[in-house]
Structure 1
């Protein structure tokens, strides 16, 4: 059977978090860089499909291809390590410390941002023919996305910040579910199917993903979006990172740890069945 039961993949989650905490700086940065770049390419692909077809659902249906590729290649997203690494700390694995978790998060953030920025520059060059023309239809769309999800939130004040935060929480609830779902199967096809479903939900519903936004917003700035770097950082990236952390750790990592790894005794665990009656002579 390719299906892995919840008790088994709960242990795999903790083992994965521990492994990432102790990974070398070089490997952590390379894997994070590639994850950021691949996810950025998937975002550019999805927006291109949506613009060319006029149907956002088609773009959302195809976006998970990037997530599946980076997971199968063993690369790391900040949203995933937000969920997995603290579990090793919670389980008191030897040598795991708060500093080790924060180190991993910091390195993965840097690597993801560098990868996403690389693709942002490359795609901006493509969308403007080397910055020699106005952005094409896809480039213009990316600029508008950046505006609506920075100054758009800012215009709504506290209500906009609350909406941004909740969208970020919901995002990593789904994305981390995809990370965990991939551990439910030992086959490539099973992993892909399990990952595809929650990633599709997050993208189509317009939730806020810190690494996708590392591509969309810097790219939007290069393509003439009417917002600033400070708008992007204060009214999207930082609140999104915090929301992603809360969503993944609370609604995925902690829940699975609490019920599948630290399973409570059954309500009738102390009940002893009466001995069977002796057979009649």
Structure 2
């Protein structure tokens, strides 16, 4: 599967994060809009499978299809840029400033929202024959999800808010692991396997994903579910976004970066040896650390695109 060693993986992650802040506003929004739309269709598909078969595990197993396709096509989710762009900022990549990072997050959020809400409208029309009938069984299931994951949390007050936040944290722990998985292999099958497993886990466990929720809750409102727009924002979307940010950085991005980042030997130090971070990956071959040749780093374009059979 052409496994990528952790020290090289971190180089790819920081290069990919740096490349994302360099796109124009229009390109960033377009990439994010397509990502939100594809993920929303995958969520609708998974709920349809779960409802019609009575097997939630089957729906969870199939949901990652959308996630994998959008990443192989080079589109962006907010949960992914929450992890990748801060690593580029910490690594002091050229052009990656705090304002540039916040701009990227804002544009990706907007694009994801546009794509997810557009699909919510289309699916609401589909579930109701153009709003001329009651929602289908799948539409009713989506409505119930919206009610249970807003009012259901509100009933528990602070404890409900804490639970919602923790579910957001756990979600992007898994989803960002899937994002990183796209960089762990140089083969398409390897990328698919590494992305599939953690994303399936998040969906089956019912964790809170801010972009999936941009589809589920507007769909519920369009289908007549018993909650309000303010319920959705206060008792789901806003805490979920914060939880996703914390989860992706705390449990995926920062541990990988600080455990495996490439460290330079002190300048001018006679006889200085490469750090353990540099030599750690090839050490399994038995080659002495001092004999390890310098590894070529991928360009930002190579790191950005997992679909080109090689690196992402």
Name the TM-score, length of structure 1 as normaliser: 0.93
- Residue 102 (structure 1) aligned with residue 102 (structure 2): yes
Number of the residue aligned with 2:114: 114
In 2, the alpha carbon distance for the partners of 1:142 and 1:169 equals 23
Question: Number of paired residues?
Answer: 267
In 2, the alpha carbon distance for the partners of 1:26 and 1:47 equals 32
Instruction: Note the alpha carbon deviations across 1:94-147, whole angstroms, 9 max, x for none.
Output: 222100000000000000000000000000000000000000000000000000
Q: Does structure 1 conserve the Cα–Cα contact (< 8 Å) formed by 2:7 and 2:262?
A: no
Partner secondary structure for residue 130 of structure 2: coil
Flag as ranges the 4+ runs of structure 1 deviating above 6 A: none
Number of the residue aligned with 2:70: 70
Number of the residue aligned with 2:147: 147
Number of the residue aligned with 2:245: 245
In 1, the alpha carbon distance for the partners of 2:170 and 2:261 equals 23
Number of the residue aligned with 2:303: none
In 2, the alpha carbon distance for the partners of 1:188 and 1:148 equals 38
Instruction: Note the alpha carbon deviations across 1:135-168, whole angstroms, 9 max, x for none.
Output: 0000000000000000000010000000000000
In 1, the alpha carbon distance for the partners of 2:15 and 2:34 equals 22
Number of the residue aligned with 2:301: none
Number of the residue aligned with 1:86: 86
- Residue 231 (structure 1) aligned with residue 226 (structure 2): no
Instruction: Note the alpha carbon deviations across 1:63-95, whole angstroms, 9 max, x for none.
Output: 000000000000000000000001111011122
Structure 1 position 25, deviation (Å): 1.1
Instruction: Give the 5 Å matches for 1:23-62.
Output: 23-62=23-62
Number of the residue aligned with 2:126: 126
Structure 1 position 265, deviation (Å): 5.4
Instruction: Note the alpha carbon deviations across 1:190-218, whole angstroms, 9 max, x for none.
Output: 10011000000000000000000000000
- Unaligned runs of 5+ residues in structure 1 are 270-281
Number of the residue aligned with 1:213: 213
In 1, the alpha carbon distance for the partners of 2:215 and 2:275 equals 46
In 2, the alpha carbon distance for the partners of 1:265 and 1:206 equals 42
In 2, the alpha carbon distance for the partners of 1:191 and 1:156 equals 40
In 2, the alpha carbon distance for the partners of 1:260 and 1:179 equals 17
In 2, the alpha carbon distance for the partners of 1:259 and 1:35 equals 30
- Residue 169 (structure 1) aligned with residue 169 (structure 2): yes
In 2, the alpha carbon distance for the partners of 1:12 and 1:51 equals 39
In 1, the alpha carbon distance for the partners of 2:73 and 2:131 equals 33
Q: Does structure 1 conserve the Cα–Cα contact (< 8 Å) formed by 2:18 and 2:94?
A: no
In 1, the alpha carbon distance for the partners of 2:205 and 2:3 equals 28
Name the TM-score, length of structure 2 as normaliser: 0.84
In 2, the alpha carbon distance for the partners of 1:134 and 1:53 equals 21
- Unaligned runs of 5+ residues in structure 2 are 264-273, 280-312
Number of the residue aligned with 1:277: none
In 1, the alpha carbon distance for the partners of 2:22 and 2:94 equals 11
In 2, the alpha carbon distance for the partners of 1:58 and 1:134 equals 26
